[in-house]
Amino acid sequence: MSLKVGKSIPVATNFVKSNPAVPVYNGEETMENLYAVIYHIEIGYNKDDEQEVLQYVIVDYKDYSLSEEGKASMLEIANEYCREKNIDGDKNLEIKLLDNEIAENFIEKIFNNMKVIRGLISND
């Protein structure tokens, strides 16, 4: 295999927005009962002279070995979140379950970087 880096491709995003994380509890709202966290990322971009917004709703849950019924419950929680936030379930929405540690670590790094960037921007 002979890999090489190609020329840069411009990517035009108008904004990347991280909404506040939403905890999901199994029972009372205590830290001991924290079962999952819903992350919501919005990415705005221009397409055919109109602004489009891609939305990612990501559910990070404690158990990595959920049953099909458990996964369906997590997806229903994510859909409930979308209904409460008036997020249309169209082609610009993706709902994902984080079901492995590699994906979880990746998402955590993205959110931490976004916090740093937001802090740098708001300090200017």
Q: Are 36 and 74 in contact (CB under 8 A)?
A: yes
In one letter, which amino acid is 28? E
Number of Cβ atoms within 10 Å of the Cβ of 60: 19
pTM score of the predicted model:
0.71
One-letter amino acid at 20 equals: P
Q: Which amino acid is at 69?
A: E
Rg from Cα positions in the chain: 17
* Calpha distance 107→14 (Å, rounded): 21
**Tens-digit pLDDT string for the chain (124 aa):** 888 988 876 667 788 888 888 999 989 999 899 988 898 999 888 878 788 888 999 898 877 677 889 889 999 999 999 999 999 888 889 998 887 667 777 777 776 766 655 555 454 4
Q: Are 76 and 114 in contact (CB under 8 A)?
A: no
